[in-house]
Chain A
Amino acid sequence: QVQLQESGPGLVKPSETLSLTCAVSGDSVYSADYYWGWIRQPPGKGLEWIGYIYYSGSTSYNSSLKSRVTMSVDKSKNQFSLNLSSVTAADTAVYFCARVVVGRGYYHMDVWGKGTTVTVSS
Chain B
Amino acid sequence: DIQMTQSPSSLSASVGDRVTITCRASQTISSYLNWYQQKPGRAPKLLIYAASTLQSGVSSRFSGSGSGTDFTLTISSLQPEDLATYYCQQSYSTPQSFGQGTKVEIK
Contacts and interface: CB of A to CB of B under 8 A. Distances in A.
Interface of A: 39, 46-49, 51, 60-64, 96, 101, 103-110, 112-115
A64 B53 CA distance: 30
Contacts of A104: 50
Contacts, number: 65
A49 B99 contact: no
B63 interface: no
Secondary structure at the B interface, as helix, strand, loop or mixed, is: loop
Interface of B: 1, 31-32, 34, 36, 38, 42-46, 49-50, 53, 55, 87, 89, 91, 94-101
A51 B32 CA distance: 17
A47 B36 CA distance: 10
12 contacts: A46-B101, A47-B44, A49-B96, A51-B94, A96-B44, A106-B32, A108-B46, A108-B50, A109-B36, A110-B46, A114-B42, A115-B43
Contacts of B49: 101, 103, 106, 108
Contacts of B36: 47, 109
Contact of B94 (A62, A96, A108, A110): A62
Given A49-B89, A51-B94, A63-B94, 5 more contacts: A46-B100, A47-B38, A47-B101, A108-B91, A113-B43
